[in-house]
Amino acid sequence: MSEGKKWPFYLIVTLLALYLIIPLFVTLVYSLATSWTTTILPSGLTLKWYAQMFEDPTFINALIRTLVLIIVSMAVVILVMLPTVVIVSMHFPRLEKLFQSIVLLPYAMPGIILASGLLQTYSSIEVPKLILVGGAYFIVVMPYMYQGIRNSLHSVNMSSMIEAAELLGANQLKIFFSIIIPNIKKGILVSSLLSFSILFGEFTLTNLVVGGNYETIQIYLFRIMQVSGHISSAVVIAYLFVLSILSFLIILFTNGRKRKSV
Amino acid sequence: MKYMRLKNFMVLVPFILIFAAVLLIPFIMMVISSFFQDSTGTFSFYNFHLIFSQRFYSVAITNSINLSLFSSIIGSILGIFVTYAITKLTQNTQNRLLLILNATSNFAGVPLAFAFIILLGNSGFITLMLKYVHVQFNLYTWVGLVLVYVYFQLPLAIMLFYPVFNGIDQRWREAAYLLGASSFRYWVKIVIPYLIPSFFGTLTILFANAMGAYATAYALTGGSFNLLSTRIGALTSGDINTMPNLGSAMALVLALTMIIALFINQLVLKKLRRDIG
């Protein structure tokens, strides 16, 4: 392919980039515009929408609620999944295939199906809705956490290290805390960040199961959308900013790990 | 040794309990309850009869299938061309584009719906520009939904195609040319057969992705556009007139369409493999 023929490729890619960036860019401009309703260009620029967003106690509360819900769910996921994955791959290797297909199942399961099953099962029993959402969050991030833990377990030669430790007389707990954990810490961190960003954008399950009774940041955004477009766009921009930082950290830690293993 | 095994198994108990309580039992309950009538509580096929005979529900299914098919076909076809174009650029540009794609793949659901409302809603930026040239555009219609769905399908398609294009070995081309093949023959005989399985695989993933999408459609139309996912949401979790068993039956239909799509994908691949090979 000669150099002169490259312009069609640049044209296609530029069109793609425009299609992807324009909605983002317009949201950014809208969040900075004093007023932008009947004209093509905004009439002036301001930061007051961001100020209003941070002064709004319902926004701060939604943010805190989101963080609490995610952090508690993630802590349970890590506490439960970590020993499970380790025990299955160390002591029940024959179950590993079955376990893997079970754990990866939610990848293909839409949130709407999970939500209707949960509501169907627990609506007649008095189970706190928040626990249901936490359980649903568990299922949503389970495949990602599993992949992260399993890959880092297999990336170091764990079984020979454990054998060596057993020969030296270490017990199960000692092996778990001083050999397994330090070696897979980074893998867990990366999959936790990924899970965090997925849960941060979760709307379907939260809205269907608890809805307005526990207003997370996504539900807050959905409500404020009908009230003020400018504050909503400030929320969207802040939300994307947080997610970009998370992706940046994920890429940073993933590359760091690769370089170390080479 | 027996005791050790038991102790190890005890570690798995919390996982098994949570898995059963949150995924297994709800799924079984959903399947069972879809065979019970909401009003009388008796066992019957009434829900399925209702879904396929009442226009209100059957249209939700056909709307969802049409929207998912259209957006996944457009997403896959555009995706394959765009990915090819991306792999022709310098590595630096490719990396930068992948960063943009990564950022926009986070951009889905409620925030995406909002961005399209200020862009193309009734007083949106582009809608106003179109009004100057006397073109009417309504985001809350079928065309509008396809446009928004393609937005979140396209980055996914590119992410799936990118490693496939990178898997094309330059030596295939050299070998083909050495054996006297033209550029056209090389594409038809080598590259396209190589791409076809990934194309259908991507199409199936995108279709399933669109069928299950709830947040974007709900935030955009508030449930006024009749889709399977938003209908299930309204039936199971609305404030008034919930019919959870009917909702379960529709959720089962949704799961079935995804399984059927997967099955068709396998059939097509099997047939293609026989025809090419």
Q: Are residues A27 and A122 in the same domain?
A: no
Q: Are residues A137 and A226 in the same domain?
A: yes
- SS3 annotation, chain B: CHHHHHHHHHHHHHHHHHHHHHHHHHHHHHHHHCCECCCCCCECCHHHHHHHHCHHHHHHHHHHHHHHHHHHHHHHHHHHHHHHHHHCCCHHHHHHHHHHHHHHHCCCHHHHHHHHHHHHCCCCHHHHHHHHCCCCCCCCCHHHHHHHHHHHHHHHHHHHHHHHHHCCCHHHHHHHHHCCCCHHHHHHHHHHHHHHHHHHHHHHHHHHHHHHCCHHHHHHHCCCCCCHHHHHHHHHHCCCCCCHHHHHHHHHHHHHHHHHHHHHHHHHHHHHHHHHC
Answer whether A123 sits within 8 Å of B244, measured CB to CB.
Answer: yes
Q: Say if CB A173 and CB A162 are below 8 A apart.
A: no
Closest CA to B146 of B63, B258, B215: B63
Question: Which residues form the domain of A155?
Answer: 57-261
Instruction: Work out how many CB contacts closer than 8 A connect A with B.
Output: 213
Question: Which residue of chain B comes nearest to A8, CA vs CA?
Answer: B85
pLDDT of residue A261: 44
Q: Which of A91, A138, A244 sits opposite B8 (nearest CB)?
A: A91
Q: Are residues A42 and A135 in the same domain?
A: no
Q: Is residue A168 part of a domain?
A: yes
Question: What's the pLDDT band for B275 if we cut at 50, 70, 90?
Answer: confident
- List the CATH number of the domain containing A184: 1.10.3720.10
> Tens digit of pLDDT for each residue in A168-178?
888 878 888 88
- For residue A93, which amino acid is it? P
Residue B238: what are its φ and ψ, rounded to 5°?
-65, 165
Q: Are residues A159 and A41 in the same domain?
A: no
What percentage of chain B carries pLDDT values higher than 70? 97
What is the tally of structural domains in chain A?
A: 2
> Tens digit of pLDDT for each residue in A14-59?
999 899 999 999 899 989 887 776 666 777 788 888 998 899 999 9
Answer whether B154 sits within 8 Å of A20, measured CB to CB.
Answer: yes
Q: Are residues A40 and A167 in the same domain?
A: no
Classified as helix, coil or strand, A33 is strand
Q: Is residue A51 part of a domain?
A: no
Q: Are residues A112 and A136 in the same domain?
A: yes
Give the H/E segment covering residue A68.
helix A57-91
Q: Are residues A2 and A78 in the same domain?
A: no
Tell me the pLDDT of chain A averaged across its residues: 87
* Nearest CA-CA distance, residue B274 and chain A, Å: 28
> Tens digit of pLDDT for each residue in A107-121?
888 999 999 999 989
Q: Are residues A19 and A106 in the same domain?
A: no
Q: Are residues A74 and A36 in the same domain?
A: no
- Domain layout of chain B by residue ranges: 54-276
pLDDT of residue B35: 94
Q: What is the ipTM of this complex?
A: 0.88
Q: Are residues A127 and A216 in the same domain?
A: yes
- Which range scores top for mean pLDDT: A108-117, A148-157, B37-46? A108-117
Q: Are residues A72 and A39 in the same domain?
A: no
Question: What's the pLDDT band for A218 if we cut at 50, 70, 90?
Answer: very high
* From the candidate CATH numbers 1.10.3720.10, 1.20.120.850, 3.10.580.10, 3.40.1500.10, the one assigned to the domain spanning B54-276: 1.10.3720.10
Distance between CA atoms of residues A248 and A256, nearest Å: 12
Distance between CA atoms of residues A238 and A243, nearest Å: 9
Q: Is residue A188 part of a domain?
A: yes
Q: Is residue A52 part of a domain?
A: no
Question: What's the pLDDT band for A256 if we cut at 50, 70, 90?
Answer: low
Question: Which residue of chain B comes nearest to A84, CA vs CA?
Answer: B12
